[in-house]
Chains A and B, each alone.
Chain A
């Protein structure tokens, strides 16, 4: 079976700084892969590379077997693919951002239906119907006509998830989806993500919610200093005795009273 996402030898440098130092990762279809690690470990950069929001310096990314952004020629050189090809491969990917990034000049419904109209060229009523169905899925059908500024953070993030889902992606990427939310609002977003995982969506989640990763993740990847230190099922990764660096990282969570999760 072809992996939903396959990453080989991924290196990302920002000037002198090497943020990713040769990452190899397979994301199985229909499974939830959680990227965890201390800040600055490169997990967000890796996720942004998977969305082609950052262009990797070296290495290759395959989405459903198709090269993303660059094609690697047999002699090992990379050529940038034409923007049409990039858009086509990218259309299989939905992205949810830490800061929601909703379009402020559109209502919740407008945010979800916009790309259906402008990109997918659906008629207005069909686009609105589909958008409404997505809003219903995230429990916001009665907030459809409110602007992002009138919604709570948790509601905004759920609209953002609906917006991504409306385009029927094969893979959903989540970049710290609850990090800018008040603690009491993270639950509603995590619940939506749980339901999505139960539906069999392929997900890659960068999160500090270790409890979520342990309970929903099928695969955990622990990054540190731009390298993938550990990878496996939650049982394999979190089982004791743990890798020393992971233990050190998890201690910071225990300090914050999350001991019962582990």
Chain B
């Protein structure tokens, strides 16, 4: 396989990384809010959160992407397909991250929360300063795992016309008649990206030891 082809793949994987990174950040943030919503005693908060999770976990991502892509114009939103792709990935991963984080939030010791209550934290401050950091650390391995999953799932956004790594490999394969080379290279690139991501996750885990050996 020529360098030109490989460089085209590398460039396309840039888009894969960009889309995934945005989806991971939005998904994590939204996941924290949805997760807190699920745990709220207030039905007006917990019901919508649970519906959100069961929908975005229950419907295949491919179908979600096609739905969002075709729904947005009906709502009068003429956005580029890459926005639809990011939206679809973010919502889907948010549902999974919310479930991952739920266990973490449930494991935040009650006394730690009471101490924050006594110090006068408002619920919002208590959530972001105390609950989130502890729940995040407790669930970090699962969160990283889901981030890797969504990066791989980003190959599905080709159905809404975004030319990311998988789609680029497909296009080049059909024009060069070298499918095996191209898909092997694409697979290698995914592997390398996820390797890096897992490494980042381990680095983060080490930083979040909070003094434990």
Contacts of B115 in A (CB 8 A): 95, 97, 101-103, 160, 163
Distance in angstroms from A5 CB to nearest chain B CB is 15
Please tell me if B117 contacts chain A, counting CB pairs below 8 Å. yes
What is the CA–CA distance of A165 and B22 in the complex, to the nearest angstrom? 42
Task: Give how many A-B residue pairs fall within 8 Å (CB-CB).
Answer: 70
Indicate which residue in B111, B120, B133, B137 contacts A167 across the interface (CB closer than 8 Å). B120
Please tell me if B82 contacts chain A, counting CB pairs below 8 Å. no
0/1 interface trace, chain B 78-122, chain A, CB 8 Å (1 if under): 000000000000000000000000000000010110111111111
Number of interface residues of B (CB under 8 A): 22
For chain A, residues 85 to 137, give those with C-beta under 8 angstroms from any C-beta of chain B: 87, 90-91, 93-95, 97, 99, 101-105, 114-115, 118-119
Q: Are A147 and B210 in contact (CB under 8 A)?
A: yes
Distance in angstroms from B179 CB to nearest chain A CB is 49
Q: Are A99 and B111 in contact (CB under 8 A)?
A: yes
Q: Are B119 and A114 in contact (CB under 8 A)?
A: yes
Q: Are B118 and A93 in contact (CB under 8 A)?
A: yes
Q: Are B134 and A104 in contact (CB under 8 A)?
A: yes
Q: Are A104 and B112 in contact (CB under 8 A)?
A: yes
Q: Are A51 and B133 in contact (CB under 8 A)?
A: no
What is the CA–CA distance of A119 and B126 in the complex, to the nearest angstrom? 10
Distance in angstroms from B110 CB to nearest chain A CB is 9
What is the CA–CA distance of A150 and B209 in the complex, to the nearest angstrom? 11
Contacts of B119 in A (CB 8 A): 114-115, 119, 163-164, 167
Indicate which residue in A51, A87, A147 contacts B120 across the interface (CB closer than 8 Å). A87
Indicate which residue in B109, B111, B121, B134 contacts A119 across the interface (CB closer than 8 Å). B121
Q: Are A51 and B121 in contact (CB under 8 A)?
A: no
Q: Are A105 and B120 in contact (CB under 8 A)?
A: no
Q: Are A105 and B210 in contact (CB under 8 A)?
A: yes
What is the CA–CA distance of A101 and B115 in the complex, to the nearest angstrom? 6
What is the CA–CA distance of A149 and B134 in the complex, to the nearest angstrom? 14
What is the CA–CA distance of A99 and B109 in the complex, to the nearest angstrom? 11
Contacts of B122 in A (CB 8 A): 87, 119
Please tell me if A17 contacts chain B, counting CB pairs below 8 Å. no
Indicate which residue in A101, A104, A114, A163 contacts B129 across the interface (CB closer than 8 Å). A114
Q: Are B121 and A101 in contact (CB under 8 A)?
A: no
Name B120's closest neighbour in chain A (CB-CB).
Answer: A119
Indicate which residue in A90, A104, A119, A163 contacts B125 across the interface (CB closer than 8 Å). A119
Distance in angstroms from A52 CB to nearest chain B CB is 8
Distance in angstroms from B180 CB to nearest chain A CB is 49
Please tell me if B211 contacts chain A, counting CB pairs below 8 Å. yes
Q: Are A101 and B114 in contact (CB under 8 A)?
A: yes
Name A167's closest neighbour in chain B (CB-CB).
Answer: B119
Contacts of B112 in A (CB 8 A): 101-104
Please tell me if B130 contacts chain A, counting CB pairs below 8 Å. yes
Given A103-B112, A105-B137: A53 touches B117 (CB 8 Å cut-off): yes
Q: Are B133 and A105 in contact (CB under 8 A)?
A: yes
What is the CA–CA distance of A104 and B211 in the complex, to the nearest angstrom? 9
What is the CA–CA distance of A149 and B209 in the complex, to the nearest angstrom? 10
Given A101-B112, A102-B115, A103-B112: A90 touches B120 (CB 8 Å cut-off): yes
What is the CA–CA distance of A134 and B185 in the complex, to the nearest angstrom? 60
Q: Are A115 and B120 in contact (CB under 8 A)?
A: yes
For chain B, residues 117 to 156, give those with C-beta under 8 angstroms from any C-beta of chain A: 117-122, 125, 129-130, 133-134, 137
Contacts of A160 in B (CB 8 A): 115
Contacts of B137 in A (CB 8 A): 105
Q: Are B111 and A97 in contact (CB under 8 A)?
A: yes
User: Which of B119, B120, B137, B211 has the most C-beta atoms of chain A within 10 angstroms of its own C-beta?
Assistant: B119
What is the CA–CA distance of A167 and B119 in the complex, to the nearest angstrom? 7
Contacts of B120 in A (CB 8 A): 87, 90-91, 115, 119, 167
Contacts of A119 in B (CB 8 A): 119-122, 125
- Measured CB to CB, the residues of B under 8 A from A are 109, 111-112, 114-122, 125, 129-130, 133-134, 137, 208, 210-212
> Could you list some 5 contacts between A and B, CB below 8 A?
A103-B116, A104-B112, A114-B129, A119-B119, A119-B121
Ordered nearest first, which 4 A-B pairs have the shortest CB separation?
A: A147-B211, A101-B111, A115-B119, A101-B115
- Measured CB to CB, the residues of A under 8 A from B are 51, 53, 87, 90-91, 93-95, 97, 99, 101-105, 114-115, 118-119, 146-150, 160, 163-164, 167
